[in-house]
Amino acid sequence: MLRRAVAAFCACACVFAVSACGADETGKIRIGIKFDQPGLGFKKNGTYVGFDVDVAKYVAKKLGYSEDEIVWKESPSKQREAMLQNGDVDYIVASYSITDERKKIVDFAGPYFVAGQDLLVRKDETGIDGPKDLNGKRLCSMTGTTSAVNVKEKFAKQTQLMEQPGMAECATALLSGIVDAATTDDIILAGLASASRGRLRVVGKPFTQEYYGIGVKKGNTELKNKINNAITDMIQDGSWQRAISDNTRGVAYTPNAKYNPPVPNGKGNK
C-alpha cells in the first residue's frame, strides 16, 4: 500500500512538473509563420527572421504585445486552416494567399503584400528573360505546388519539370547546374537570391498575382479589423518598405509597383 501511495505521489509530481516546466502561453500571442522560407519566415539559430516575421511583430506590437510575449508556431501550408480552426494560433502570417476557397474556412486581414510568380536563375544567365524562354530548359518547383505546371501549360510546353521538397533545394539544384531556373512567388525567390550571396538573381518579370493575407479564425471580425488597421499603419509610417528592403538586401528586387503596397481589405480580400 505504501509503495502504491508513493508511486501515485510521484506520478502526480511528474504531471505537475511537466505542467510547470512546459511553455506557458498565458498572456502571450501565438503567431503562425513558416520556418523554412528565407526572406519571409525562417528559423535561424533559435531566432526568426523574414518579411512575414517583421509584419507579424509589427501587428503584435499594435495589438499590445512585446516581442518576448510572442509564441512562434510553425505553420506548414497544409496545416494552416486546421491550426486556426483548432485555436492553436491567434493569427498566421505565412505567405498565405487569399483565395475564395480558403475564405470559406478562415477569415483574412490584408492583403499586406501582393506577390507574383517569377523565375530565379543563375547570376550570369542571359538566355532566360521570362517564362516563354523555358522551352527545352529544366525548371524546378516545390512538390505540391502548381507553379511549374502553370509555366508549362501557359508559356512553354517543352519545359522539363523537376520537383523538390522545398525551394531551398531548388536553389541548390540551380547553383549546381541540375536545373536552369526555379519558380515560385517573387518575394520568396528574392529571399533565396539574398541567401545565395549574389550567385542567383530574380528575373523580375512577375506573371501572376498572389494576395498575401493574415489568417484569423472564421468569425473573429474584431481581430481582423485590428490587424487591418495595423497593416495600414505599417505601410503609412514606412515600416513596410523598410521590412522589404531589410529582407531582400543585396538583391535587385522591387515589389510590383502596380499592386504594392496594397490596400488592406482591398482587391483580393473583398
Which is nearest to 59 in space by CA: 228, 230, 233, 232? 230
Task: Find where cell 505567405 sits.
Answer: 95
DSSP 56-92: HHHHHHHTT--GGGEEEEE--GGGHHHHHHTTS-SEE
pTM: 0.85
pLDDT tens track for 8-55: 444 444 443 433 344 678 899 999 999 989 899 999 999 999 999 999
What are 196-205's pLDDT values in tens digits? 999 999 999 9
Region 151-160: mean pLDDT is 96
What is the mean predicted confidence (pLDDT) over 92-114? 96
User: 187-196: per-residue pLDDT in tens?
Assistant: 999 999 999 9
109, 135, 212, 232, 259 from 266: Cα distances, Å: 10, 37, 12, 11, 11
Residue with the larger pLDDT of the pair 118 and 13: 118
Q: What's the mean pLDDT in 213-230?
A: 98
Q: Is 144 left (phi over 0), alpha (psi -120 to 50) or beta?
A: left
**Distance between CA atoms of residues 247 and 191, nearest Å:** 7
- In this prediction, residue 2 carries a pLDDT of 43
CA distance 181 to 202: 10
